[in-house]
Amino acid sequence: MKKSRSVFTSCSHRLGVPCLLLAGFLASALAGCAAAGEQTIAPARGEIVSDIGDSCWYVFQDKDDNYWFGSDGNGVCRYDGKTLTRYTTKDGLAHDHVRGIQQHGPTGDILITTNAGVSRFDGRRLLTLPIKEMKRAAPPSEGWELNRDDVWMTGAGGPRRYDGKTLYQLKFPQSPLEESLTARIPHKDNWSPYDVWTVYADRKGHKWFGTGMFGISRFDGKHIDWMFEPHLTEVPGAGWFGFRSIIEDRDGAFWFCNTQFRFHVQPHGVAGQEAGLLKYVRTPGVDSAVIPPGESPIYYQGVVSDQAGDLWMATYGFGVWRCDGKKMTHYPIMDGNNVVKLISIFKDNQGGLWLGTHEHGAYRFNGKTFERFRI
């Protein structure tokens, strides 16, 4: 891509999902979850199919090594190594537009985030979890707990936490940056700048949240601290794209959204910390000299770390980049002459890498390149 490309084309490829698509699917997913209630549904039989289809936004592998593929409109598929079964609203799924797949460790239940709530699959039935709406409050307060086995999810106005019994919709306390950011960031009434678009757990078990517009926050079990830097989400003349990717590298530094900087974040309570704000030191990320002209910094909407500690960064329309600390390796993702648009990247139980795509199915890394997954 060159600098001369239109703003929309450039941002779509370098920053992630186009503005309208991103805002639309996130707003509907978060709003839908708040309205859902639990329903008792008959056993989910599903439909045996031969292919996961073209729409495969998310890939997940459970602890029994079954693969799950979440679509944008065709429900979710489960592959046990022999049989591919599709589950939709006909089987009790809350909605056929899937926005995330996770597992609750102690019970083994699969949690499927959709545009109309979170569905829990217990191996037999699909139930839509009721949501316990919490008031806006800072920890320690009901709901704000850091327990090892809990599952944290994206949510409206704050994250959601599931403890095996209750799904809490938490609300962030006011960020110390709220007043200044509200004055400069445009947003619509049908979503909140506090909406959580990504959740990440660091090596200490602390939770990190990327929000729609108010930056990144960390919950260490007792405190919520914030950070915001415009270059992580804002492109001059092109808009704001939210905070969608967080990862801790092999050295304990954090990467947020793009390759420009690494962040060495201090624990809460260190000398010189401002109230409610993260204290950190910013150092150079990837040297622009190892990135093709016109592409630095690289904005990615999904990132994982492999077994060697290398970072794999998935962009929307510019393939996957591998960063080993010294060089960047580019893996174009193509379907013939067509660029494959990426939604997510996932590392499975064996360390294998998978890509969820906008409309080209799932892709898997074969050791040299990414190829489309077929049963």
The tens digit of pLDDT for each residue in 63-96 reads 999 999 999 999 999 999 999 999 999 999 999 9
If one counts every other C-beta atom within 10 angstroms of the C-beta of residue 26, the result is: 22
pLDDT of residue 289: 80
Q: What average pLDDT does this structure show over 319-324?
A: 96
* Range 219-239 average pLDDT: 86
- Nearest Cα to Cα of residue 25 among 116, 160, 88, 89: 116
What residue type is 85 in one-letter code? T
DSSP annotation of 72: B
Q: What are phi and psi of 183, to 5 degrees?
A: -70, -20
The per-residue pLDDT for 191 is 77
> Residue type for 242, please?
G
pLDDT at 7: 29
Instruction: With a cut of 60, say whether residue 23 has pLDDT above it.
Output: no
Mean confidence (pLDDT) of the chain: 89
- Is residue 34 within 8 A of residue 115, CB to CB? The reply is no
The candidate with the shortest Cα–Cα distance to 255, out of 268, 245, 244, is 245
- Structure token pair of residue 25: 């699917």
Pairwise CA distance, residues 286 & 82, whole Å: 42
Q: How confident is the model at residue 38 (pLDDT cuts 50, 70, 90)?
A: very low
User: For residue 42, what are the contacts with CB-CB under 8 A and spacing of at least 6?
Assistant: 92, 125
Structure tokens of 326? 């010294």
What are the extents of the domains in the chain?
43-129, 131-285
CA 211 to chain centre: 11
Does the pLDDT value for residue 14 go beyond 50? no
Instruction: Over range 166-184, report the average pLDDT.
Output: 90
Any idea which of 166-180, 226-240, 244-258, 352-366 has the lowest mean pLDDT? 226-240
Give the pLDDT mean for 42-52.
95
Give 292 or 107, the one with higher predicted confidence.
Answer: 107
The count of C-alpha atoms lying within 13 angstroms of the C-alpha of 159, restricted to the half-sphere facing its C-beta, is: 24
Q: What is the dihedral of CA 294, 300, 306, 308, to 10 degrees?
A: 40
Asked if residues 22 and 16 have their Cβ atoms less than 8 Å apart, the reply is: yes
Give the pLDDT score at 29: 55
Phi-psi region of 252 (alpha: psi -120 to 50; beta: other; left: phi over 0): left
In CATH terms, 43-129 corresponds, of 1.20.950, 2.40.10, 2.40.50, 3.30.1380, to 2.40.10
**Which range among 18-32, 177-191, 242-256, 338-352 shows the weakest confidence by mean pLDDT?**
18-32
End-to-end CA distance of the chain: 34
Per-residue pLDDT averaged across 171-191, rounded? Answer: 81
- CA dist., res. 56 & res. 266, Å (int): 38
For the chain, what percent of residues have pLDDT higher than 70? 87
DSSP state of 127: E
Q: Which pairing describes strands 362-365 and 370-372: parallel, antiparallel, or unpaired? A: antiparallel
Token pair for residue 367? 């050791």
Q: Whole-angstrom Cα distance, residue 193 to residue 197?
A: 10
Contact assessment for residue 128 and residue 122, using Cβ atoms and an 8 Å cutoff: no
CA 286, 367, 305, 60 torsion: positive or negative? positive
Q: What is the reported pLDDT for 189?
A: 67
Residue 32 has pLDDT above 60, yes or no: no
* Model pLDDT, residue 355: 99
Higher confidence at residue 316 or residue 21?
Answer: 316
Strands (E), 71-190: 76-79, 84-87, 98-103, 110-114, 117-121, 126-128, 131-136, 151-153, 160-162, 167-171
The pLDDT, as a whole number, for residue 9 is 36
Cα gap 93→23, rounded to integer Å: 23
